[in-house]
Structure 1
Amino acid sequence: MLDRHVICLDGTERQLSEVEDGLADVLKQLERVERLLKVVMVRKEDLEARSCRNNSRISRVAETINMGRPNIFVKKRLTDLFAFEDTFAVKHTHRSLGPRPP
């Protein structure tokens, strides 16, 4: 009778050891993923900061100017005023939150 309990305890200890080994592997993988996540977050923040540095803001341009195409007007005006070559782009414009002009 005691032998059966010893065999049962040996099996339980073996299973517990396997579970602990598996848990150790999972914890190592978790640490690796956390390190990679930190690297990715730093890179993401760096890319966001770089993209913001390349933006310029010009305000108070009427929406009705140049037949409703203020981005073309701004590009032409900057080219004329600062003798820029055609090496920059005005990708898009944003409206203000105020009411639309008549």
Structure 2
Amino acid sequence: MPYQNPQESTLFKKLSIPSEIHLRKDKVIPAIQRLESYIKDATNAGMKEIRVIHGRTGSGDMRRAVHELLNVHPDVESYYPAPPAEGGPGATIAVLVSSL
């Protein structure tokens, strides 16, 4: 079996990408830019699901912006509100399109 650089392996990439991103307390535009980059990295790492922590208080602008992006992002298959044990109304779970 030929040697494979561990940094090029899907497992290495998956282990180096966190399963969630925290956007609370960020401004909406920079947060959405970070989320776009994070989704691409997570998809390239072969992740199936991510959790987006957007917070549950305030005006709801962050949650709306997150959902608007998830609606149109080509790497997102679907999304749904996180269960209570995973953040409830303050988080959203996004199911990613398989990159394989």
TM-score range, shorter chain: under 0.3
Larger radius of gyration: 1
TM-score normalised by length of structure 2: 0.23
Give the helix-richer structure, 1 or 2: 1
Give the strand-richer structure, 1 or 2: 2
TM-score normalised by length of structure 1: 0.23
Higher relative contact order (CA 8 A, sep 6+): 2
